[in-house]
Structures are given as C-alpha cells and as structure tokens.
C-alpha cells in the first residue's frame, strides 16, 4: 500500500492497518482492527520513526524504500520497544545494515534482549537534539507512558511531536489518516478512551508529568504510533489526555452486574430506572458476563458514577465481577462515586466481597449496599431506592 501520505513536504506517514488481528496484546478486542503508525523524515539525513508489527504488511519495507528513493536510511529512532512497533527492526537492519539506531539506555537494554548486541547504537539523553538538515529533533523522555523506556521526539522546526503510544487509539484507519479527514465521532473518541484506559491509564500520574513537560512546546502536529495523526487540532488530543489522566469524568453512571438466574439483573435494571427518574440522562448498564472488561473499564473511566452488583457464588462474588474489581484496583481509577448491590439465596458473599473492594479502592459510597435474599419484589427495593437517590444526588449537586 504505497499511499505516500505526506504530513509535510519532508515527512511521510508509513504506517499499516491490521484488520486481521482479533486481540490487541492477545487481550483487548479489536472489532475495528488497529493501525501501526510509522513515520519517515526525508531530509539531508533521513530518519525513520519506529517500525510496525512483524508480518503485519509484507510490503512495509518496500514502502520505506519507495519513499527513500535512492537515499540511504541514516537513522532509526525508537520511541517504544513494544513489539507492535519494533517488530520489523530485524528485517530493517538486514536491508539497511548501516543505519544508526537512536534510543535511550533503557531502549537498548530491551532491544539487545530481543536482537542481541547490535552496532551503530546512538544513545541520547533527555533534552538532547539531533540535526537532520531542515529538521532539528529534540528528545523528551516520558518514562512509564507506558513502558520505562518510552520517549517522545519533538521536531523543533515544524512543531511536530512523535509520541509513541501516547495519544493513540484502537481501530484501523478507514481511509483518513489525519484528524481533518474524518468526523471525530463519539465512537472514535470511545475507542481512543478505551485504548487510554486499558493500556495507558494505570500510569496516569506519569502522563500528567509528561504533559507538564510538553507544555512549553509549540505543538502543531501529533504523530502517535496508533490511530489518527492530529495535524489540524492537536489541542483536542492533549485536552482529552489532560482530562483522562486527571480522572475527570462526565455526570453519568455505569451499572455493571453479575447475575446467574436474573435476580441481580432485575436489581440492576430497577436501580438504573430510578437513577433515570431522578434526572440522570447518561446511564450504561452492562452484564459482566457479556461485555468485555475493556469496555467496562472504558465506561468507568468516562462516568463519575459506578454501581456494581453481584450475586453470591460459592460464598464469594461472581468470578467475572471479581476479575473486574481486581483490575480496577490494579489500574487505580480515582475519584468515582460508588454504589453496591446484590442478591443471594442462602448465605450471601457477593455484597460482602464487594464491600472489601470498596474499602480497598477508596471511592466514596453514595449509600449503604442494597442486598436482597431470593427474588426481588416491591417490598424489598427500599435499599435500591436509597442507592439510586444517593447516586443521583451526588451527580446533580
């Protein structure tokens, strides 16, 4: 696919789309595929910004060659060593054995772990620069966004920021490579947030540090390793990351329940209806057994209100609800309002263990947990009413 998408007269998008892969990192669903972005600067010295996943496009190196023409490839700049971006390095070195590999000391530790000791390594430190001719590149270290070796490159000449995984998104690029070639719909924002919340979100404090570090630069274009290139409105991408990494959220509620025989499901619907009756308009209800955890985390990152319900299962909470709560503690989502509910038949366990989760994560509970023995009925819903009222009250204060 030799589209030769030009960002400037001397900068080319050389990425590929992968619509065959079903799971990102063998974990996260990819119903819309994923793009692996790579960028080539053709200057007095030519530099390739990262590669793509091995085998994702057999013509990738031919494309690089077609953009270079009769020029040599002088530099490969590595922003992130994860294999969806470094997978073609070995093949690249076979075609361009004299290329100089630019990275930091942690980059090279990972690189040599994969490919052994290599020649032509150019180690850079935070703030170092590299002149290509027209372009003057500044290297900005952004550790733990989201691996320890991650860094960014800022082109001081044209105001272009190469960001690694930051500002990326799930989803292949359906024709348009640039933000001004598409309508940035709710779906595209959701897939960008799903990527952030599941891949980068655990390191939100480091994202905040990175954003502060970048605040003094005049960023006119953002080139991430997945998703759209932001050449017209890079401020939108920065604003989204500022909001998500500071745990800001919308005035809505996500209700997630685990139910074997429908009793807890009835409670979930009842609570959702009561919250809606109180005036909250953004409500999402999910069955934890049917909705992949990445979408649950995405909605929990989006909304301030979280209501979790579980039936009892072997005196514990339902296993998939337990998995969700464990992941929420792991990624450390902050500043949410929490409601708990559940049902049981003989000895309970779902709500009891949800309370332990609540103690661990430290979110503010809006009411006492609602728990029903047996089948939900009109005379058993008082605690559900209180939970719904408490959640609506927090969101509408």
Please provide the average confidence, as pLDDT, over all residues in the chain: 96
Cβ atoms within 10 Å of 243's Cβ, excluding its own: 14
Average of per-residue pLDDT across 51-55: 93
Question: Are residues 310 and 341 both part of a single domain?
Answer: yes
Confidence of residue 5 (pLDDT cuts 50, 70, 90): confident
Predicted local confidence at residue 3, as pLDDT: 61
Question: Are residues 188 and 260 both part of a single domain?
Answer: no
Question: Are residues 266 and 170 both part of a single domain?
Answer: no
Predicted local confidence at residue 4, as pLDDT: 65
- Distance between CA atoms of 214 and 239, rounded to whole angstroms? 13
Predicted local confidence at residue 58, as pLDDT: 85
Percent of the chain whose predicted confidence (pLDDT) is above 90? 96
Terminal Cα-to-Cα distance of the chain (whole angstroms): 54
Spatial contact of 63 and 2, defined as CB atoms under 8 Å apart: yes
- Distance between CA atoms of 194 and 188, rounded to whole angstroms? 10
Provide the CATH number for the domain around residue 366: 3.40.50.360
Question: Are residues 369 and 223 both part of a single domain?
Answer: no
Question: Are residues 216 and 313 both part of a single domain?
Answer: no
Cβ atoms within 10 Å of 145's Cβ, excluding its own: 26
What residues contact 88, with CB distance under 8 A and at least 6 apart? 51, 52, 53, 54, 60, 61
Q: Is the per-residue pLDDT at 120 higher than 80?
A: yes
**Which value, to the nearest 10 degrees, does the dihedral of the CA atoms of residues 352, 353, 357, 358 take?**
-10
Provide the 8-state DSSP code for 329: H
Provide the CATH number for the domain around residue 42: 3.60.15.10
Question: Are residues 86 and 124 both part of a single domain?
Answer: yes
Percent of the chain whose predicted confidence (pLDDT) is above 70? 99
User: Which of 214, 245, 276 is the C-terminal boundary of a domain?
Assistant: 245
Question: Are residues 155 and 230 both part of a single domain?
Answer: yes
Question: Are residues 264 and 234 both part of a single domain?
Answer: no
Question: Are residues 185 and 265 both part of a single domain?
Answer: no
Predicted local confidence at residue 56, as pLDDT: 86
Q: How many domains does the chain have?
A: 2
pLDDT digits (tens, 9 = 90+) for 197-224: 999 999 999 999 999 999 999 999 999 9
Predicted local confidence at residue 57, as pLDDT: 86
- Which contacts qualify for 121-129: CB closer than 8 Å, 24 or more apart? 122/75, 126/151, 129/156
pLDDT digits (tens, 9 = 90+) for 337-373: 999 999 999 988 999 999 999 999 999 999 999 999 9
Confidence of residue 20 (pLDDT cuts 50, 70, 90): very high
Question: Are residues 277 and 193 both part of a single domain?
Answer: no
User: Which of 245, 268, 284 is the C-terminal boundary of a domain?
Assistant: 245
Spatial contact of 241 and 167, defined as CB atoms under 8 Å apart: yes
Could you write out the three-class secondary structure of 40-58? EECCCCCEEECCCCCCCCC
Phi and psi of 109, rounded to 5°? -60, -45
pLDDT digits (tens, 9 = 90+) for 293-346: 999 999 999 999 999 999 999 999 999 999 999 999 999 999 999 999 999 999
Range of the domain at 228: 5-245
- Distance between CA atoms of 105 and 386, rounded to whole angstroms? 56
Map residue 312 onto helix, strand or coil.
strand
Question: Are residues 32 and 52 both part of a single domain?
Answer: yes
Question: Are residues 141 and 88 both part of a single domain?
Answer: yes
Closest to 244 in 3D by CA, of 219, 218, 280, 211: 211
Q: Is the per-residue pLDDT at 2 higher than 60?
A: no
């Amino acid at each position: 696919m030799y589209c030769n998408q030009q960002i400037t007269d001397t900068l080319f998008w050389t990425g590929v789309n992968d619509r065959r892969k079903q799971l990102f990192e063998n974990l996260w669903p990819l119903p819309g595929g994923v793009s692996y972005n790579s960028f080539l600067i053709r200057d007095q010295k030519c530099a390739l910004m990262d590669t793509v996943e091995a085998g994702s496009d057999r013509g990738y190196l031919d494309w690089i060659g077609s953009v270079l023409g009769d020029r040599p490839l002088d530099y490969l700049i590595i922003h992130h060593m994860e294999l969806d971006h470094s997978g073609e390095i070995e093949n690249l070195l076979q075609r361009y054995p004299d290329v100089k590999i630019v990275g930091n000391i942690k980059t090279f530790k990972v690189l040599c772990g994969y490919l052994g000791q290599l020649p032509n390594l150019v180690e850079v430190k935070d703030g170092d620069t590299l002149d290509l001719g027209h372009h003057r590149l500044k290297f900005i270290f952004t550790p733990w966004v989201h691996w320890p070796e991650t860094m960014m490159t800022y082109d001081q000449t044209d105001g272009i920021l190469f960001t690694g995984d930051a500002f990326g998104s799930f989803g292949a690029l359906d024709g348009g490579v640039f933000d001004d070639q598409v309508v940035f719909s709710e779906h595209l924002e959701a897939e960008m947030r799903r990527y952030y919340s599941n891949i980068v979100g655990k390191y939100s404090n480091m994202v905040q540090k990175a954003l502060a570090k970048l605040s003094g630069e005049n960023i006119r274009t953002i080139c991430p390793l997945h998703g759209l290139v932001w050449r017209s409105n890079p401020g939108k991408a920065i604003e989204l990351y500022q909001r998500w990494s500071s745990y800001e959220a919308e005035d809505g509620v996500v209700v997630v329940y685990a139910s074997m025989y429908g009793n807890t499901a009835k409670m979930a619907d009842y609570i959702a209806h009561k919250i809606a009756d109180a005036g909250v308009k953004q409500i999402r209800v999910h069955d934890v057994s049917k909705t992949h955890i990445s979408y649950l985390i995405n909605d929990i990152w989006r909304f301030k209100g979280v209501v979790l319900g579980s039936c009892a299962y072997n005196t514990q909470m339902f296993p998939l609800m337990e998995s969700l709560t464990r992941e929420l503690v792991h990624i450390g989502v902050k500043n949410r309002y929490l409601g708990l509910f559940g049902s049981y038949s003989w000895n309970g366990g779902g709500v009891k263990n949800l309370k332990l989760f609540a103690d661990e994560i430290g979110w503010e509970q809006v009411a006492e947990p609602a728990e029903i023995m047996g089948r939900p009925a009109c005379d058993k819903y008082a605690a559900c009413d209180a939970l719904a009222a408490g959640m609506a009250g927090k969101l509408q204060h």
